[in-house]
C-alpha cells in the first residue's frame, strides 16, 4: 500500500494538479477519502467571517472538516475559477461555490479564496477566505 497516493492520483502531480484533483474528489463527495494525499499534521483554518470558525489539525481534523461539508449541504459544487502556484509550497484557488443547505429549497452561491499548502506531495494546510480583497492584500504584503 505504499504507492496508494501514486495509484490514486497518477505519477507525481504538481502542487496545482494535486489541488485541482482534490477539488474533483470534493465535488464527487469523496473528500474524506482523500487522506492518502493529506499530511498527518495538516492544519485547516476557516475564515474568521464564518460563524463558529475553527482551526482543525491532523487527519482527525481532516475527517471532521470533510464531514461538516456533507452534514451541512445536500448538494455542493465547487468550481475552481483559477488555481495558481504562489510559491514552492502554496497554491491559491479562487473558487465559486454553489451549495444547498440541508433542508433548504434553493442553493446558496458565494465566492471564496482557498490557500493550500502542499509539502512532499501532501496537503499540509488549507485556509479559506471569504474577503477576497483581504486575500489580495495578503498576497501583496512584503512577507505574504
For the ranges 100-104, 113-117, 136-140, the lowest mean pLDDT is seen at: 136-140
Average pLDDT over residues 17-25: 95
Tell me the domains of the chain and their CATH numbers. Answer: 12-140 (3.10.450.50)
Element housing 16 (H / E): helix 15-27
**What per-residue confidence (pLDDT) applies to 81?**
96
Instruction: Give residue 139's pLDDT band: very low, low, confident or very high (50, 70, 90).
Output: low
Instruction: Give residue 119's pLDDT band: very low, low, confident or very high (50, 70, 90).
Output: very high
pLDDT surpassing 90 at residue 69: no
Q: How far is CA 4 from the centre of its chain?
A: 20
Alpha carbon distance 68, 62 (integer Å): 10
Q: Which of 125, 47, 48, 59 is nearest to 86 (CA)?
A: 125
Amino acid at each position: 500500500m505504499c504507492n496508494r497516493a501514486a495509484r490514486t492520483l497518477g505519477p507525481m502531480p504538481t502542487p496545482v494538479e494535486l489541488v485541482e484533483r482534490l477539488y474533483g474528489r470534493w465535488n464527487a463527495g469523496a473528500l474524506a477519502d482523500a487522506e492518502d494525499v493529506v499530511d498527518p499534521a495538516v492544519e485547516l483554518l476557516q475564515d474568521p467571517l464564518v460563524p463558529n470558525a475553527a482551526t482543525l489539525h491532523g487527519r482527525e481534523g481532516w475527517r471532521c472538516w470533510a464531514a461538516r461539508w456533507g452534514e451541512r449541504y445536500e448538494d455542493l459544487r465547487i468550481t475552481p475559477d483559477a488555481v495558481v502556484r504562489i510559491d514552492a509550497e502554496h497554491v491559491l484557488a479562487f473558487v465559486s461555490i454553489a451549495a444547498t443547505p440541508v433542508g433548504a429549497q434553493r442553493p446558496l452561491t458565494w465566492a471564496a479564496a482557498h490557500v493550500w499548502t502542499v509539502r512532499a506531495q501532501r496537503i499540509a494546510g488549507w485556509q479559506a477566505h471569504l474577503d477576497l480583497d483581504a486575500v489580495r492584500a495578503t498576497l501583496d504584503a512584503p512577507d505574504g
